[in-house]
Structure 1
Amino acid sequence: MLTIHLILLLIQTVYMSFNSSMIHDYSCYYNAANYWLKGLSLYSGCFVYLPQSAIFFTPLSILPPQLFLIIWKIILIIALYSSLFKILEFFKITTRKKLFMFFGITLLVAQGPLTQGQADILMISCMIFAIAAWYDEKYTKCAFLLCFSVFLDPLAIVFMGLMFLFHRQLQFKIICFSLFFILFPYIISNVNYVNQEYIELILRYRFLSSPQFPHVFNLFFLFTNSNISDYAQFIIRLIFSILTIVFSWQVKKKIDNRLFPFFLYMLSSLYMLLFNPHVESHHSLILIVVALPFIISQMKTIDTPLLTLIFIINLFLYIWQKIFLNSMLQPIPVLIVCATSFYLLKSIRHYEQI
């Protein structure tokens, strides 16, 4: 199955490299990197990430667009597969049916981000390997990967924040790496230009919170035809961020210390999916890569009807994302995944196989 998937991805990559109409997020990263090199605004197009993310792509931006697409796609494939195998190692999933279930679901959900070339996959990989580094007591590596994941894609900031709060070994290292990443653009570029890009980034994120983009708050608008004000959204996010920290603190006293980073990963992913200003159904991959192996590892047997049901559900997630692209209905499958994962958080403390 994995070989077939890789062959199909290779064919898709070659096809996309000669079909500019299918270059989705690839063009956003490619153009942003070139804008940075030319001192132009990063946020005049579709780019919504930190300036550091644009800098990350600058070495590849000197290549022709088609070659950039191929190399970036290869990077994403390597990141996806390496993180999936690392998760299998964590949860000790070895039987054929469990492996088929794990890869069948995750690869299907990952198809959207892979096709569009989204950095989410590399961000997920960095977070997974940060947990692995923490588990091996390589705290400097862990802190670097956490910071890198945030500056690559800000969605990871909740996970980094929770790891910072609950692991003293990481705190000083995360502060140092964060300062390095924040100051690095000033070292290689004009101060006024960098300041302007940070200001434009803030304005861009405020725009993302508008009713024009799919996120959970806009479901309220969809069904009631009335908006939740930015101030109310801020208060709700603040309250739930405090509850997230309190919940984590309570669980830390009861859970096996080896499991706690996985718990923080799942909880931070839940928060991000519920309160991120731009949510699409394929973002559920962030939760699925950890929640799914936990479920599978707890199953004594997996029968064919169960495999079929789960495959159909995830096929629904994939089709939903395609049909309702940029629609206010995008977050609905995400809410389903979040509800399931929240239920799992209550039982993860009893997991003893790692």
Structure 2
Amino acid sequence: MMFMKAGFSDRIFINSSVFLWLVFIVIVSVIVSQQGMSHTVTPSYFFGADLWMQGKDLYDGSGRGFIYLPQSAVLFVPFAYLAKLSFSVAEVTWRIISLLLLVFTLWRFANLVEPKLIARAFFIITITSIPLVFSSARNGQFNTILEVMMLLAVCAVAKEKWCYATFYLVLGLALKPTMVVLLLLLWALYRPLWWRLPIGLLAIFIFPFFTQTPIYVWHQYVNSMAMLKTASALGATTTDWAQFFGLLAEFKIIISQRLQDFIRIIAALFILYCGVRAQKKFNKYQVAIFLYTLASCYLMLFNPRTENNDYGIVAPALGLFITVFFVHSYILMLLLVFVFLGLVMSGNLSFNGSREFWSAPFFTVIFTVIVVAQIFYSKMRNTIFKTE
């Protein structure tokens, strides 16, 4: 068992974390079982799976509704069948599976630090994650599973398990297209993935052809590309999204879609450069932490359709760096606690009831700057991370 060798203080951290997660899962399950069709997006997933089974078009051309790749419709078919038997059971089952997987992967992520800090890291990650994933978990969004696949991928890379990393990356992409950010970053930085990922992508591309007629599948692929373009344009041309350009819009700085795309490319190249610098400076476990953090921050800031609910994806990185700075720098630790509190108040847990979209990207920019500074200027001690 993974907790058997824990000391007394470690057991307190671990048991407290497990208790908090169990209570959280129960609360979410009760809320979901009572909320009916409100505060849930899973009907879109059920609808997409039903359309796939019936051989009907998944996309309506609006850039809304089912905005995922065809594979996600196929993978959600079991839940769609369950929903026909009991909508509430399907809703609750989806949340429980997603959250249990999240708890498991957060523990794996916490194991990237030095063994004596693992329990503390897991506890702090729990504290940062629960409030930030609440809205997404209640709504049943794919964000939770996306976070799971991202965490599993970087943990696999840290342990040089390249086939596992490939599996998690392509499965994450099949479930939600925004996985492409981490996929491309790891693909560029790790030679063992150069040939494995094309094979994995080919496999996940072929997979839907075993479930429907080839003409139908190909038609859905073509329509999915148009859907992604429309959905992206919708995010770029409206300001009610919690991303970097939504932040600028609050200061009356409106940027054209073409210039936004150019800035995204420049930012992506800079993130790649940061990854290269991290590989030269830190060990493989530290690098995995930095790459997850860089990818999640980039995704929050530059995905055209980022919502306040999405920021739970940065919570594990935020919690882990708070743990690191508890040993390394109290000032930076307190600053990240401030960032965490800001993100909590930015989401649906805020008490003012207002819809605002600038604060979450604002606090994420602060977090990103701190992390990038560690790559270029910090001399963080390796003793707080797992060693080779």
Aligning the two structures, in what range does the TM-score lie when normalised by the shorter sequence? 0.7 to 0.9
2:244 counterpart of 1:216: yes
Letter in 1 for 2:315: I
2:226 counterpart of 1:203: yes
2:46 to 25, 30, 33: 30
**2:32 — aligned with what?**
16
2:140 counterpart of 1:142: no
- Residue range with higher mean Cα deviation, 148-157 or 239-248: 239-248
Retained in 1: the 8 A contact 2:125–2:315?
A: no
In structure 2, the residue corresponding to 1:173 is in which secondary structure?
helix
Distance 1:324 1:23, change over 3 A: closer
Unmatched 5+ stretches in structure 2: 1-15
Letter in 1 for 2:164: K
In structure 1, the residue corresponding to 2:68 is in which secondary structure?
coil
**TM-score by structure 1 length?**
0.86
Retained in 2: the 8 A contact 1:43–1:204?
A: yes
1:281 to 279, 300, 308: 308
1:48 to 57, 60, 67: 67
**2:96 — aligned with what?**
74
Letter in 1 for 2:263: I
- What CA distance in whole angstroms lies between the structure 1 residues aligned with 2:369 and 2:313? 14
Question: Residue by residue, what CA displacement relative to the aligned partner does 1:299-339 show, whole Å, maximum 9, x if unpaired?
Answer: 14989x969967744541334678678x5x32531331232
Retained in 1: the 8 A contact 2:106–2:125?
A: no
Distance 1:88 1:264, change over 3 A: closer
Where do 1:117-156 residues align within 5 Å? 117-156=140-179
**2:9 — aligned with what?**
none
Distance 1:274 1:11, change over 3 A: closer
Retained in 2: the 8 A contact 1:13–1:70?
A: yes
- What CA distance in whole angstroms lies between the structure 2 residues aligned with 1:271 and 1:309? 20
Q: CA deviation at 1:96?
A: 7.8
Letter in 1 for 2:111: E
1:59 to 67, 75, 78: 78
**2:129 — aligned with what?**
106
- What CA distance in whole angstroms lies between the structure 2 residues aligned with 1:26 and 1:87? 27
2:335 counterpart of 1:318: no
In structure 2, the residue corresponding to 1:259 is in which secondary structure?
helix
- What CA distance in whole angstroms lies between the structure 2 residues aligned with 1:343 and 1:184? 41
Distance 1:221 1:11, change over 3 A: closer
- What CA distance in whole angstroms lies between the structure 1 residues aligned with 2:116 and 2:126? 11
Q: CA deviation at 1:84?
A: 1.6
Retained in 2: the 8 A contact 1:50–1:152?
A: yes
- Residue range with higher mean Cα deviation, 29-38 or 135-144: 135-144
Q: CA deviation at 1:176?
A: 0.3
- Residue range with higher mean Cα deviation, 316-325 or 2-11: 316-325
- What CA distance in whole angstroms lies between the structure 2 residues aligned with 1:266 and 1:98? 15
Letter in 2 for 1:75: I
Unmatched 5+ stretches in structure 1: none
**1:87 — aligned with what?**
109
- What CA distance in whole angstroms lies between the structure 1 residues aligned with 2:227 and 2:268? 22
Letter in 2 for 1:66: S
**2:22 — aligned with what?**
6
- What CA distance in whole angstroms lies between the structure 1 residues aligned with 2:275 and 2:254? 31
In structure 2, the residue corresponding to 1:80 is in which secondary structure?
helix
2:268 counterpart of 1:241: yes
Retained in 2: the 8 A contact 1:186–1:194?
A: yes
Distance 1:282 1:334, change over 3 A: farther
- What CA distance in whole angstroms lies between the structure 1 residues aligned with 2:96 and 2:306? 25
Letter in 1 for 2:345: F
Retained in 2: the 8 A contact 1:280–1:331?
A: no
Retained in 2: the 8 A contact 1:126–1:146?
A: yes
Distance 1:336 1:57, change over 3 A: same
Letter in 2 for 1:50: L
1:158 to 181, 186, 194: 181
Where do 1:165-204 residues align within 5 Å? 165-204=188-227
- What CA distance in whole angstroms lies between the structure 2 residues aligned with 1:16 and 1:314? 24
**TM-score by structure 2 length?**
0.80
- What CA distance in whole angstroms lies between the structure 2 residues aligned with 1:155 and 1:43? 18
Q: CA deviation at 1:178?
A: 0.4
Root-mean-square deviation over aligned CA pairs: 3.0
